[in-house]
Amino acid sequence: MKIYFSILLIVFAGVLTAQEKQSHYWVTFTDKADTPYSIFEPSAFLSPRALARRDRLHIPIDSTDLPVSANYQSQVQQMGGQVRHTSKWLNAATILATPSIVQEIATLPFVKGVERVGRYHPPLKPKKNKRPNLNPDYKKTKGYYGYGSLQIGMVNGHALHRLGYRGEEVIIGVQDGGYNNVDVMPFFDSLFTNQRMLPGMDFVDDDPYVYESATHGSSVLSVMASNLPYYFVGTAPHANYICMKTEDVRSESLTEECNWIAALEFADSIGVDVVNSSLGYTEFSEEVMNYTYQDLDGQTSRASIAADIAVAKGVFVVTSAGNSGAGKWRFVGTPADSREIFSIGAVASNEQRASFSSFGPTSDGRIKPNIAAMGQRTVVAGNGYDIGMSNGTSVASPVIAGLVADLKQAFPYHDNRTIREAIENSSSQATAPDNVLGYGIPDFYIAYRLLKGKQSLLQPLEVYNKNEQIEVVFLEPFEEKGQLQIADRYGKVLMNVKVSPKKLFEKHPLEYNLPKGVYKVSLLTDTVTAYSYFVRG
């Protein structure tokens, strides 16, 4: 009997000890009373770049922009709760505390609610990465985009680059689980050399070091930022980047959503233009936290609500749709269910849905994903000079995010909805979107032209005069035989040359011997009539 009683005491004591372990809690507040901030002096809490974006897009400053009450935070901390992050948009804080302390905090008159969101993990120790050696197995290719040419070509993204839009002056925020070796990998050398890699932020361990924990973020970043011509060039090779670590790879919990929101608000406050988030949430390490399909209505998940707010404040948020298409769940996760977020599905190189790509609709019947890009055998940077392939909507999402940044460069005064609709309307299923690929596979050249406000595309010819030769460049492909004509300013045909079907940007040289003057070059097929002029100096 005594032995039995002793065992009970030990077990009971063990339960008490476990109960008093620190966990993360989401604490919401009733208001923002006694704040020293004012919406009429936003420079106190938003950077000049963030304010410039708001001004450019005519977005007002409102109460959601005001920081969480410092007085409320102080009282929470005086009671023993450690404030990890705050959310001004949702008027809340993520705190670290024991259950007994949280019970006391919940009684404070300004506390609206308290919810446990996950276990506490001690911070990781930063490690120093070493510069890798060149992997001799990977040789230069003939194409400028190297091994990544297919994924950018599928969505006609290189057309934006040819037009001069590669993401210059745009900031892309990346939210992920870690960025191993990004600081030493040669694919990113130009980011650091040209000071286009902004100081990162680790929202898991609360420190500025992000080049640790996982390679997932490194792969995602490489799809956009790689800039090693003839090996691998990404979709926004000249953009500025900031890497934010929000995912704790040691477990799955709602704390990661809280980190995600904190990072998104930080991105907005420093003036980030585009955010890529190759993350999604449906199931967690503690089953009680799991979402149901009914929860995916764009209004239940904190992350989805925050995503809508971010887009309204001028940040274009792109996310992976999810990889549950072949599993029991099947549907997109959160925050892909957000109303305003741009959710990306995955296709293979044959432009058919990748088997894992998640389906829509959301539980309230909206089409998801929005569009699709190459997410099967997508080229990514490896840990060294390696070039690998990865599968997942996680790598389809940055294909699009980088090109959105290119459009942001081209159209800084266009709001997010206008850009999103242009991309959707350029896509292969624009007239009949579904819950498999959404609006389909986009064509960013067409999206560019739609944003230019024209119903028809550019004249599909450019002509370059080179001594005794002209070079005709086709800005649109055509699929039938035709002829190129050169005529003088009076319309007299001087040369007539047969041409075969041409691809986008394919060049066609023509030898000629003509006097000085203005000449017209015309492309004539059964369905295409186009022309351009050149001057013989």
Per-residue pLDDT reduced to its tens digit, 41-80? 999 999 999 999 999 999 999 999 999 999 999 999 999 9
Tally of domains in the chain: 3
- Burial group, residue 235, by CB count within 10 angstroms (0-12, 13-18, 19+): buried
pLDDT at 142: 84
Cis previous bond, 186, omega within 30: no
pLDDT at 455: 34
Per-residue pLDDT, averaged over 449-454, amounts to 78
pLDDT band at 132 (very low <50, low <70, confident <90, very high): low
Q: Are residues 111 and 232 in the same domain?
A: no
pLDDT at 393: 98
pLDDT band at 6 (very low <50, low <70, confident <90, very high): very low
Contact 271, 50 (CB under 8 A): yes
Closest-CA residue to 182 (of 135, 220, 149, 148): 220
pLDDT at 488: 78
Q: What is the CATH number of the domain that holds 430?
A: 3.40.50.200
Q: What is the CATH number of the domain that holds 482?
A: 2.60.40.3080
Alpha-helical runs (H) found in 271-380: 302-312
Q: Which tens digit of pLDDT belongs to each residue from 360-380?
A: 999 999 999 999 999 999 999
What HEC string does 186-203 produce? HHHHHHHHCCCECCCEEC
Q: Are residues 269 and 347 in the same domain?
A: yes
pLDDT band at 485 (very low <50, low <70, confident <90, very high): confident
Last residue of one domain, picked from the residues 402, 421, 451: 451
pTM of the model: 0.81
Residue 230 belongs to some domain of the structure:
yes
Q: Which tens digit of pLDDT belongs to each residue from 142-155?
A: 899 999 999 999 99
Residue 125 belongs to some domain of the structure:
no
- Could you write out the DSSP letters of every residue in 234-283? -SSTTSEEEEEE---TT---THHHHHHHHHHHHHHHHT--EEEE---BS-
Mean pLDDT of the chain: 89
pLDDT at 129: 76
Q: Domain residues for 478?
A: 461-536
Rounded Cα distance between 247 and 242, Å, is 15
Q: Are residues 345 and 494 in the same domain?
A: no
Last residue of one domain, picked from the residues 399, 420, 451: 451
pLDDT at 79: 95
Q: Are residues 194 and 222 in the same domain?
A: yes
Rounded Cα distance between 119 and 281, Å, is 16
Last residue of one domain, picked from the residues 395, 418, 451: 451
pLDDT at 61: 96
Q: Are residues 424 and 521 in the same domain?
A: no
Contact 24, 94 (CB under 8 A): yes
pLDDT band at 133 (very low <50, low <70, confident <90, very high): low
pLDDT band at 18 (very low <50, low <70, confident <90, very high): very low
Q: Does residue 85 register a pLDDT over 70?
A: yes
pLDDT at 183: 92
In this structure, of 55-59, 130-134, 286-290, 398-402, the range with the lowest mean pLDDT score is 130-134
Q: Are residues 250 and 338 in the same domain?
A: yes
Q: Are residues 361 and 483 in the same domain?
A: no
Q: What is the CATH number of the domain that holds 92?
A: 3.30.70.80
Q: Does residue 315 register a pLDDT over 80?
A: yes
Q: Does residue 497 register a pLDDT over 90?
A: no
pLDDT at 468: 65
C-alpha distances in Å from residue 108, one per residue of 73, 78, 213: 11, 12, 37
Residue 387 belongs to some domain of the structure:
yes
